[in-house]
Amino acid sequence: MVSTIAPAPVVAQESGAGAWSQFQGGSDHRGVLADGPQPPYRIRWTFLAPEDEELSGAVIVEDVAISVGERAVYAVDLLSGELAWEVPRTGGPISTPAVATGNRTTVLYLEGPGGDDATPSSASASPTASSPSASPTSLPLPTDDVDDDGSVLVALDLADQTERWRVALGAESRSGVTIDADTAYVGDEDGIVHAIALGDGQIRWTADLAEGSGAEGATGAARCEAFEGGAVDVPIGVAEDRAIVVGRNVDGGAVAVGALSASTGECAWRVFPQLGSSAISAPAAAEGIVVVGSADRFVRGLAAEDGEERWSSLALSLFSPFSAPAFPPGTVYVADLGGGLYRVDASDGARVWSYQFNEVILGSPVVSGDTVLLGLSDGRLVALNAASGHLVWQAGTGPGRLGALALAPGAIVAEKGGRDAGLIAFEHNPEGRLVDVPSPTELDAPTTLSRIGLAAVIVVAALVVPGIFLRRRFGATLPELEGEDDAGTEDDVEDGKTEETEQP
Amino acid sequence: MSGKSKKRRPRSSPARPSVTEPVVQERAPRRAGLFAGSMVSAGESSLPTLGRSLGRGFLVVLTQPALVVVAVVLVAATWLLLVALGFEGAPGRLSDTLAMAPISTYFDLGTGVSLLGLGTSFLLFLAAASIVRALVTAVLAGLIVESIVDGRTSRYGVLIGLRAVPTQLAVQLASISFIFIGQAALQALGPGIGFLGSVAALVGGLFFTGFAPTAAIRQGRGVVESLRRSGRAAMLPGGRHLTLCALYFIVSLPLALLVTPGSEITANPSLASWIVVFAFNVLHLVFMAAFAYRWIVAEPDVPDQPVPRRQPARARPARARGRR
């Protein structure tokens, strides 16, 4: 475990308030935009990724949607869908970027390791011709010795796409970037959590899940059992000075959920909600509660202060690490991998309603006003009334999943997977129509009873009528049973014989 | 229930022993081991052939409308009850509602886990489900035995079926053990051999316990003795009983899952789903009747005591070796 407190001056930064600045909209992953667009919707534009590439979930700031691809970071104009700019990227796992707004709006994303054909990662970003003011960064690089085996956190100035700084993490990272106040948080495959100053890229602290404590000299480590072999590949949540970290040991089939002090990295608590599986959702944290969904199909509300389980609510399937609960005030919406969307009360975990889509869900629900939105693996975008839990609108976008959603006051930007991977933006359609469809798991008594009755008549008639014929032909009883001693010999049933067998 | 026979046969019960009982002492017990069934020709076996057993099973169930109606009503009532309890699942699993243990135990375990997750409430559900299932299965077995012997179903069948409740409950508990053994094999041996091990545990469980409810009804003996006799009957040579169990396993799990529409989670299964589900549950009764028929036919040959294995011929010690 290494801890570095940056002595360098920090440029004042703040997280992207008012924008969909990172995974699930903010550092706490609440996934809510009160003034988001309402259904019905229509497609505003489609932005296709380069061939054989997919894009990350988008973040939205200053009328552009920013997404990370294999070989570039793309900014798409929110109104027109035109490419605003792109910045080359050296490859590596695709994860959601983050935006810090303030006196200088900064885009942070992860890149590398890019393999043999990767461009030198120590170089500054080289914007393409589409960048209006491309120029190498003049800022000193805080980390010059970039490790080719690890990922790098890159900070770009949104205004001119110049690189402000880059930090080598030393291991591959898939967690995406979380920004809270003036700090960025990323996790890596070695189980290290990095807290990095937004102003200059200095590492403030690191914490290793494999160790029982979060930071050098930390106290209170007795409550943090070491988690060996875990990777931090799920977006980190930050709320109330707690960095909520989910560690997954895929080979060992284990997960850990823990909280670190966001300011010092000191471990506050760590719990192990399940054994035997590494499936777990990303966390959402608000109102003093951390919510995660695990492989034992329980959604758990953990006290943010000490990790104690406040409540649990049973779902029908396990949860994807690509999905996080949405957490508007007093309510949690969570989607399981098998196609169930659930609304539970944030105070006691009581289920308010559920909707079953019977389709794999890899994305997270988001809340736009009083509508819950969700992308499905068959390409549908679905909208449900938050109060009733009924489907009010849905539309397909063709083959390929619809994953992470990002909200802006006038648009929804969805990550599209599959052959036509890219981004799709939706907007309100004043001419569209709403529907009111309850979940298929709600019993429609008249329909079901009539089906049962009809099926019963068909089956009974189909079986009993031949039975009557058989009864007439063979009789009601099985005559060979009386004094049965020829069992196993050639059958006489086919001949319809009714003679009694000989008694011994 | 229904169906009046013109000729009422003597009922088989401890009070009124079956007409075949005296034969028991006259036949020499035979034992040839688990896989000996395939080594002995069907003509030499005490157990009826597979075709005859299944044919009789169909005949018994289809000629008794009450059995078909009971199957349909039980399945529909089970679904409505589960939905009322908050169950959310695919209706395809209803195909095994009336299956024989241990396949029915899969239904109970899956339903309980889906409804309550793993925990104390799940164990309570499993206990309650085992009791209800033991009761229902025993009554169905009683009706089937009455139908086989007397050609009718009546309250009498229900009453003699109640005799088998403790035995059936023991079978349910044993089935849970078989499933856990199968899961342990799966975990320990991996998806290849482990899967075969888990299947073998299920088929083996059915093999040894399949006759138990009928044995309890017919002979009125205790739980342990009924289970023992069920195992001894299964070991009778030449009956291809293992084949019948494997066939039932294939019909109940892979085939039912493949054929039954309704893999989607809904509370309102389609008409096609209901038709297939009802048909499969009647098929379970057919197999149950086939097992019961086999027991009744072979009952006189089921040994009262375990048949000792034939000792392999030992080479005579010193004295034998001394002869040269």
* Model pLDDT, residue B310: 55
Which residues lie closer than 8 Å to A453 by C-beta, 6 or more apart? Answer: none
pLDDT at A18: 56
Give the mean pLDDT of A421-441. Answer: 96
Q: Reply yes or no on whether the pLDDT at B247 is more than 70.
A: yes
d(CA A159, CA A172): 28
pLDDT tens, position by position, A177-189:
999 999 999 999 9
Q: Is residue A101 within a helix (H) or strand (E), and if so which, with residue range?
A: strand A98-102
pLDDT (0 to 100) of residue A72: 95
Average pLDDT rounded to a whole number, residues B224-253 = 91
**The most confident of A309-318, A460-469, B113-122, by mean pLDDT:** A309-318
Averaged pLDDT score across all residues of chain A:
84
pLDDT at B227: 95
pLDDT the model gives residue B22: 34
Q: Which residue out of A353, A484, A485, A490 would a mutagenesis test of the B interface target, given it has the greatest number of B Cβ atoms within 10 Å?
A: A484
Name the one residue in this structure whose structure tokens are 């529909």: B76
Which of B62, B114, B120, B301 has the highest number of chain A CBs within 10 A, making it the mutation to test binding with A? B62
Within-domain flag for A497: no
- Say if residue B102 is preceded by a cis peptide, omega within 30 of 0: yes
Partners of residue B114 in chain A, C-beta under 8 Å: 316
Q: What is the percentage of chain B residues whose pLDDT exceeds 70?
A: 81
Instruction: Decide which of B25 and A235 is more confident.
Output: A235
Q: Which of A99, A95, A128, A129 is nearest to A112 (CA)?
A: A95
Residues A37, A72, single domain; the answer is: yes
Given this model, what pLDDT does residue A115 score?
57
Asked whether residue B221 carries a pLDDT value surpassing 70, the answer given is yes
Q: Letter for the amino acid at B254?
A: P
- Chain segment A6-16, per-residue pLDDT in tens: 333 333 344 44
Residue A219 has pLDDT above 70, yes or no: no
What CATH number did the domain enclosing A122 receive? Answer: 2.130.10.10
- Closest chain B C-alpha to A481 CA, distance in angstroms: 6
Is residue A17, in this structure, part of any structural domain at all?
yes
Q: In terms of domains, do A252 and A377 share one?
A: yes
Q: Is A148 a domain residue?
A: yes
A470 to B7: CB separation less than 8 angstroms, yes or no: no
Residue B200 in domain = yes
Judged by DSSP in three states, B200 sits in helix
- Type of residue numbered A82: E
DSSP A150-210: S-EEEEEETTT--EEEEEE-SS---S--EEETTEEEEE-TTSEEEEEETTT--EEEEEETT
Pair (A378, A452) in one structural domain: no
Closest by CA to A327, choosing from A384, A386, A279, is: A386
Among A456, A463, A504, the residue with its CB nearest the CB of B26 is A504
Rounded to an integer, the average pLDDT of A44-52 is 93
Residue by residue, DSSP assigns B104-164 as HHHHHHHHHHHHH-SSHHHHHHHHHHHHHHHHHHHHHHHHHHHHHHHS-B-HHHHHHHHTT
**A186 vs A221 pLDDT, higher one:** A186
Task: Determine, for residues B114 and A466 on separate chains, whether the beta-carbon distance falls below 8 Å.
Answer: no
Order of all β-strands in the sheet with A331-335: A331-335, A340-345, A351-356
CB contact under 8 A, B65 and A464: yes
The average pLDDT across B182-197 equals 76
Tens digits of residue pLDDT in B41-53: 445 678 899 999 9
Give the pLDDT score at B214.
Answer: 96
Q: What is the pLDDT of residue B316?
A: 46
Give the model's confidence band at A83: pLDDT under 50 very low, under 70 low, under 90 confident, else very high: very high
For chain A, the domain total comes to 2
| Most confident of the following: A449-463, B84-98, B167-181 | A449-463
Most B CBs within 10 Å: which of A298, A357, A448, A503, as the mutation test of the B interface?
A: A448
- Does any domain span residue A439? no
Query: Each residue of B219-238: b (16+ CB within 10 Å) or e?
Result: bbbebebbbbbbbbbbbbbb
Confidence of residue A477 (pLDDT cuts 50, 70, 90): low
The pLDDT of residue A493: 34
Question: Worst-scoring range by mean pLDDT, A442-456, A460-474, B89-103, B204-218?
Answer: A460-474
Residues A404 and A307 in one domain: yes
Output phi, psi for A99, to 5 deg: -125, 130
**Chain B contacts of A493, Cβ < 8 Å?**
52, 55-56, 59
ipTM of the modeled complex: 0.81
| pLDDT (0 to 100) of residue A11 | 39
Q: What's the CA gap between A450 and A173, in Å, rounded? A: 55
In a domain, A6, yes or no: no
> pLDDT band at A425, cuts 50/70/90?
very high
Indicate the pLDDT class of residue A280, thresholds 50, 70 and 90: very high
What is the mean pLDDT of the segment spanning A268-295?
89
Interface touch B76/A484, C-beta < 8 Å: no
For residues B297 and B4, the model is more confident at B297
What's the number of domains chain B is made of?
Answer: 1
A352 and A471 fall within a common domain? no
- The predicted model gives A89-109 an average pLDDT of 92
A333 shares its domain with A402:
yes
Q: Identify whether residues A70 and A134 lie together within a single domain.
A: yes
Mark yes or no for CB contact A455/B271 under 8 Å: yes
Q: Which residues, listed in sequence order, are joined to residue A245 by a DSSP beta bridge? A: A258
| Span of A216-220, A279-283, B25-29 with lowest mean pLDDT | B25-29
Nearest CA in chain B to A476: B151
Contact A316 B89 (CB under 8 A): yes
- CB pair distance less than 8 Å for A491 and B118: no
B27, pLDDT greater than 50? no
Do A424 and A450 lie in a common domain?
no
Pairwise CB contact (< 8 Å): B59 & A354:
no
* Same domain as A419, residue A311: yes
In a domain? residue A123: yes
Same domain? For A289 and A200 the reply is yes
Coil, helix or strand at residue A446: helix
On whether residue A239 sits in a domain, the answer given is yes
Instruction: Identify all chain A residues contacting B7, using CB atoms and an 8 Å cutoff.
Output: 477
pLDDT at position A137 over 80 = no
Residue A133 has pLDDT above 50, yes or no: no
**Is residue A501 in a domain?**
no
Lowest mean pLDDT: which of A315-329, A489-503, B92-106?
Answer: A489-503
- Tell me: pLDDT of A504 over 60: no
Higher pLDDT residue, A10 or B141?
B141
The number of residues in chain A equals 504
pLDDT digits (tens, 9 = 90+) for B61-111: 998 999 999 999 999 999 999 999 999 988 888 999 999 998 999 889 999
Residue A456's pLDDT band (boundaries 50, 70, 90)? Answer: very high
Distance from CA of A294 to the nearest CA of B (A): 12
Residue with tokens 């789903």: B273
Strands of the sheet containing A371-375, edge to edge, are: A32-33, A366-368, A371-375, A380-385, A391-396
Among A257-271, A406-420, B293-307, which is the least confidently predicted range?
B293-307
Query: Which residue of chain A has the CA closest to B50?
Result: A488
Rounded average pLDDT over A286-293: 94
Q: Do B52 and A298 touch (CB under 8 A)?
A: no
Domain of residue B224: give its range. 30-307
The model's pTM: 0.81
Q: What is the pLDDT of residues A371-401, one digit of tens each?
A: 999 999 999 999 999 999 999 999 999 999 9
pLDDT of residue B120: 87
Residues of chain B positioned with their CB less than 8 A from the CB of A356: 88, 265-266
Q: Are residues A390 and A470 in the same domain?
A: no
Question: Do residue A357 and residue A238 come from a single domain?
Answer: yes
The alpha carbon of residue B154 is apart from the nearest alpha carbon of chain A, in Å, by: 14
The candidate with the shortest Cα–Cα distance to A224, out of A253, A265, A183, is: A265
CB atoms under 10 Å from CB of A379, counted, come to 21
CB-CB contact of B52 with B258 (8 Å) = no
> A–B: how many Cβ contacts below 8 A?
162
Residues spanned by the domain of A455: 445-475
